[in-house]
Amino acid sequence: MSAHATAIRTGTALREAATSAREGWSDTATAGGVAVIAAVVAPFVLGGLIADDTLAGGAYLALAATGLALCVGLAGVPSLAQGAFVGTGAFVAAHVLRHTQLTGELCALIGAIAAAALGTAAGFAVRSLDSVRVAVGTWLLTWLVALALGTLPWLSGGAQGLVVPTRRLFGLHPTPLVHYELGVMLTGLCALALVALRRGPFGLDLAAASQNRGAAAALGVPMERLRVAAFAASAFVGGLAGGLLVQLDIVADPTAYGPLLSFELLVAVLVGGAVAALGPSVGVIVLGLISLAARALGALAGVSAARFQPMLEALLLLAVLTTGGHAFVPAAIRAARRFRPARERASRRAAATGKPSRAELLRAEGLVKRFGPVSAVDGVSLELEPGTVTGLVGPNGSGKTTVLRLLSGTLPADEGIIGLGGRDLTGLPAAARVQAGLVRTLQSRPLFAELTVLEHALVGANRRRRYGGAVRTLVSTPLFRAENGLAEARAFAALEAVGLAEEADRPASELTGSGRERLMIAAALATNPAVLLVDEPSAGAAPEDLELLRTILTRLKAEGFAVLLVEHNLALVHAVADRVLTLELGRVASRDTDAGL
Amino acid sequence: MSLAVQVVFTGLSAGGVYGLVAIGHSLIYRLTGIVYFALGDLIALGAFVTLLVAAGTQPLTQETVSGGRMALGVVAGLLTCVLVGAAGYFAVVQPYIGRSAIGWVAGTLALGFAIHAVLDAAFSRPAYVFPDPIPFRHVGHDGLVTILGAQIHVRSFAVIGVAVLVAAAASWVLQRTWFGRSLRAIADDADGAAVVGISVERTRALAFGLAGAIAALAVIVAAPGAPFETGSGTLLGLKGLVAAVLVRFGGLWSAFAAGLALGVVEAALGTGLLGHLPGLAAYRELIPLLVAIILLAVRPLQTREVVE
């Protein structure tokens, strides 16, 4: 009986998976599949035009570049350390090959794990830095590894490098052709993973974090953890490429994994396209053509091709950058879309209601924040009750926004305690407070420039997911897929609550100022909070928008949310607030408890 | 004792050049919020243009260059630095400021690698001996003097002296001239500076050019002391960046001091900390880099706050 039920359930799950796969299939996917098959048969078709070992080296470079695209394309982080990760994988694998009898693939795996460890450390070091410092830090790391290989003979085997014994790869004799096909397959797998991750909650969070750190932080996206994960994964793939590359080359060359390699990989990613899964591979092919051109130029000038190659690569990158940074693959996809517009997605209905999951009291006592000698917030206490709106008003510089930031956790308080329900939130970071049910919106800002309206709300809805991690996304577990539907329903409900459900598939950048304010409220609502902190929702709103805002806030109140409304528009405040706190010079000057003044 | 004296002088003369590069990195960061990854190669470009004008690409002995041609070479080298540095600002930095970090990171790196490759194509020998603007070898014993038992190159004094003079001149320009005041105004608040009539773009571009030129000047003085390679500039750019990171892209004199300190520390590590820990000698370049990475990660941001 139970076996029968299980069989039925498995059958249903499989059918659902097939349906969703069919729905997800697109022309781009067809093109990608054709490209991978073309790559697999390339050595047989090219028939010795290009040597197998050159092709194999290119395949491993494409693998390393696809790994880098995780950092650059998904996370939007300018990592210059991929060469260092490839080098780490290469030399660790070389040492293991020389000192053990393990098979080739195991040695490469050990190299990849070592690189992932270095990548995790690097990601941890730069987890909360701005892009300038990430670029500098990863650049210094690339040099650290290159100089270490150049100056430490025990590590690198001196100027002639480490000669590596040949081992079987997956039971096969490791000819260049075997290496090439392995490289193509791994690159294809990595590109598939990139596509799956980009479409899932993990990729959406990364995109949000890279497009607007402040807004992503306010919605509780755990940016530091995401960045460490992106670095670790990107380093793992780079290290794997390195560990296989040394077995192809039979020698680990200490000069091969320096800043130039990091730069070339970045060129491949940017020229081919960081967000398209096969972009990095196309970039590597372009680099291969450049190397042919360099050889021709070198023969003309009578000097070695190595002198021209970096110059041509640099010029190509500069050309791509100056023409607006339109990389090859995304440009081709855009051009193709002009002829065949993307299919409409099936319409979705909201299933979940917009009610808060729990009614809880937020209590803050004696909040103090000092900036040098100035006390921006000087002993503010407040309570936000479920089903009420509390207005927070005051002149510019009175500390309203600082209070919001202390409550939401983007700024640590010097003194004071914050509790929600029975739980102490004092000292917790913003992401943890969002998990606890306390979320804020940001003042009028461009949100995530490249996401659609629905995707904005999904970033919020992701905060309530339990099965949305990178690994579950990759294997697409049944729990993961079931939760997809829930998250989308919750996002839709939030959009309906602010009157944006009709706009779900439009790019958010097309919304009006007032639409963006409401979208930010929807994204916050989708996190399923108990308490909403709303910052200046009327900024840039026309009179009819104000009416809409009033309706929305009144409905939120009726549904049981505790709302703190920071507003300059006193008419709006008085229309919806049950209580009004007036701040002056960081202190509460008056607490007006008359409803509807 | 003599070893310590040796370390201090060798270190200070290397550190003087690092310090000037660090000043360049620091100045550019404060002006635009970016790091100019091409700075080191720009410096090498200045040095090699000087070599080209003064002596051509042929092998040379230090006697073959006349004073007039050398002076012409120095002027040409510094001018090239200013022009290419400023052009680089307009081409690969200005379009991306405040918009796309990946844009300017990739752009300045590409510019650096392009300059390096041009130098490699034009100067194909592994290393070059630079002509000597000042004939130090006639001073002391073949260019060496003995201080407290240590043999010191007379050139070291000149390099340290030139570095300090250039730093002082840069400081004077920054504090006392209209150009310097504009630079400081832009560093404080670029929009505000534009409102009061400062041409932000032109001022920044000139600063990008001068940042390379002041370091190139020190390199031209220091280069005849040892063989100079096309890649030496890249490495100088890196050392200057390490020094600038150590003081969090701080003020002019702290960047210079960090460069000097880095030079001395490297020299001390290179002797195995004066012979006490000989194993450290191999790590003389690695340890400062590692320290810089760690400091970059653990110290809070000095300027713009990240969130919001």
Contact A535, A566 (CB under 8 A): yes
CA angle B235, B238, B241 (to 5 degrees): 155
Place of tokens 């021209």: A308
Sequence-distant (≥ 6) Cβ neighbours of residue B213 within 8 angstroms: B46, B78, B81, B82, B85
Task: For residue B118, give the nearest of A301, A311, A321 by CB distance.
Answer: A311
Establish if A18 belongs to a structural domain: no
| Domain shared by A237 and A154, yes or no | yes
Task: For residue A141, give the nearest of B35, B285, B293 by CB distance.
Answer: B293
DSSP output for chain B: -HHHHHHHHHHHHHHHHHHHHHHHHHHHHHHHS---TTHHHHHHHHHHHHHHHHHTTS---TTS--HHHHHHHHHHHHHHHHHHHHHHIIIIIGGGTTT-HHHHHHHHHHHHHHHHHHHHHH--SS-BPPP-SS-GGGSTBTTEEEETTEEEEHHHHHHHHHHHHHHHHHHHHHHHSHHHHHHHHHHH-HHHHHHTT--HHHHHHHHHHHHHHHHHHHHHHHGGGS-B-TTHHHHHHHHHHHHHHHTTT--HHHHHHHHHHHHHHHHHHHTHHHHT-GGGGGGTTHHHHHHHHHHHHHSPPSSS-S--
Distance in angstroms (rounded) separating the CA atoms of residues A474 and A70: 14
Closest C-alpha among A402, A439, A388 to residue A576 = A388
Distance in angstroms (rounded) separating the CA atoms of residues A86 and B155: 42
| Domain shared by A133 and A230, yes or no | yes
> What pLDDT is attached to residue B62?
54
CA distance A185 to chain B (A): 29
With CB atoms and an 8 Å threshold, state whether B296 touches A310. Answer: no
The DSSP letter of residue A352 is: S
Domain that holds residue A415: 362-592
Nearest CA in chain A to B99: A211
Mutate to test the interface with B, among A79, A130, A131, A132 (most CBs of B within 10 A): A132
Nearest CA in chain A to B298: A125
CA distance A152 to chain B (A): 7
DSSP output for A279-318: HHHHHHHHHHHHHHHHHHHHHHHTS-GGGTHHHHHHHHHH
| Domain shared by A326 and A383, yes or no | no
Structure-token pair, residue A160: 């002639």
Sequence-distant (≥ 6) Cβ neighbours of residue A1 within 8 angstroms: none
Distance in angstroms (rounded) separating the CA atoms of residues A138 and B293: 8
DSSP output for A89-131: HHHHHHHHHHH----HHHHHHHHHHHHHHHHHHHHHHTTT--H
CA distance A237 to chain B (A): 21
Place of tokens 């956790």: A409
Place of tokens 């299939």: A25
Contact B281, B24 (CB under 8 A): no
Establish if A343 belongs to a structural domain: no
Q: How many CB atoms lie within 10 A of CB B188?
A: 10
Sequence-distant (≥ 6) Cβ neighbours of residue A96 within 8 angstroms: A102, A107, A110, A111
Q: Helix crossing, A131-151 with B286-298: angle to 10°?
A: 160
| Domain shared by A210 and A308, yes or no | yes
Task: For residue A307, give the nearest of B92, B117, B296 by CB distance.
Answer: B117
What CATH number is given to the structural domain containing A519?
A: 3.40.50.300
Establish if A488 belongs to a structural domain: yes
Mean pLDDT, chain B, integer: 84
Single pTM value for the model: 0.84
CA distance B249 to chain A (A): 11
Nearest CA in chain A to B303: A130
Sequence-distant (≥ 6) Cβ neighbours of residue A306 within 8 angstroms: A294, A298
Final residue of a domain: which of A300, A335, A370?
A335
Task: For residue B124, give the nearest of A139, A303, A311 by CB distance.
Answer: A303
Final residue of a domain: which of A335, A352, A387?
A335
Would the pLDDT of B143 be above 60?
A: yes
Residues on chain B touching A270 (C-beta within 8 angstroms): 102, 106
Residue A302: what are its φ and ψ, rounded to 5°? 75, 20
Distance in angstroms (rounded) separating the CA atoms of residues A373 and A427: 22
User: A-B interface: how many C-beta pairs under 8 angstroms?
Assistant: 139
Longest CA span, chain B: 63
Domain count across chain A: 2
Establish if A355 belongs to a structural domain: no
Task: For residue A270, give the nearest of B106, B118, B306 by CB distance.
Answer: B106
Nearest CA in chain B to A216: B307
What CATH number is given to the structural domain containing A167?
A: 1.10.3470
> What pLDDT is attached to residue B97?
82
With CB atoms and an 8 Å threshold, state whether A137 touches B106. Answer: no
| Domain shared by A437 and A330, yes or no | no
| Domain shared by A366 and A325, yes or no | no
ipTM exceeding 0.90, yes/no: yes
CA distance A378 to chain B (A): 22
With CB atoms and an 8 Å threshold, state whether B308 touches A136. Answer: no
| Domain shared by A173 and A321, yes or no | yes
Establish if A217 belongs to a structural domain: yes
Structure-token pair, residue A167: 């081992």
Place of tokens 């050159």: A54
Task: For residue B33, give the nearest of A132, A148, A270 by CB distance.
Answer: A132
> What pLDDT is attached to residue A28?
73
Residues on chain B touching A143 (C-beta within 8 angstroms): 238, 289
The DSSP letter of residue A219 is: T
With CB atoms and an 8 Å threshold, state whether B294 touches A125. Answer: yes
Nearest CA in chain A to B96: A321
How would you write the pLDDT of chain A (597 residues) with one tens digit per residue? 466 777 776 777 667 666 666 665 667 778 888 888 888 888 888 877 888 888 999 999 999 999 999 888 878 888 999 999 999 999 999 999 999 999 999 999 999 999 999 999 999 988 888 888 899 999 999 999 999 999 999 998 888 889 999 899 998 999 999 999 999 999 999 998 888 888 788 888 888 887 777 788 888 888 888 889 999 999 999 999 999 999 999 999 998 998 999 999 999 998 888 777 888 888 898 888 888 888 888 777 776 767 778 888 888 888 888 776 667 777 777 777 666 554 444 445 444 445 666 678 888 888 888 887 888 888 888 889 898 999 998 888 888 888 888 898 888 888 888 988 888 888 888 888 888 888 888 775 657 877 888 888 888 888 877 777 777 777 677 777 777 888 888 888 888 888 888 888 888 888 887 888 888 888 888 888 889 998 888 877 788 888 888 989 898 888 888 999 988 888 888 888 888 988 888 888 887 765 444
CA distance B254 to chain A (A): 19
| Domain shared by A387 and A286, yes or no | no
Residues on chain A touching B294 (C-beta within 8 angstroms): 125
Establish if A15 belongs to a structural domain: no
Establish if A20 belongs to a structural domain: no
CA angle B2, B5, B11 (to 5 degrees): 135
With CB atoms and an 8 Å threshold, state whether A266 touches B106. Answer: yes
| Domain shared by A64 and A204, yes or no | yes
Nearest CA in chain A to B35: A132
Final residue of a domain: which of A288, A320, A335?
A335
- Tell me, rounded to whole angstroms, the distance of Cα B222 from its chain centroid: 11
Residues on chain A touching B105 (C-beta within 8 angstroms): 78, 80, 131, 135
With CB atoms and an 8 Å threshold, state whether A313 touches B113. Answer: yes
Establish if A4 belongs to a structural domain: no
Distance set, CA B240 to CA A44, A212, A417, B234 (Å): 50, 32, 45, 10
| Domain shared by A420 and A382, yes or no | yes
Task: For residue B121, give the nearest of A140, A307, A313 by CB distance.
Answer: A307
| Domain shared by A381 and A324, yes or no | no
Q: How many CB atoms lie within 10 A of CB A5?
A: 9
Distance set, CA B124 to CA A281, A311, B41, B109 (Å): 32, 15, 16, 22
| Domain shared by A366 and A314, yes or no | no
Structural domains in chain B? 2-298 (1.10.3470)
Contact A440, A535 (CB under 8 A): yes
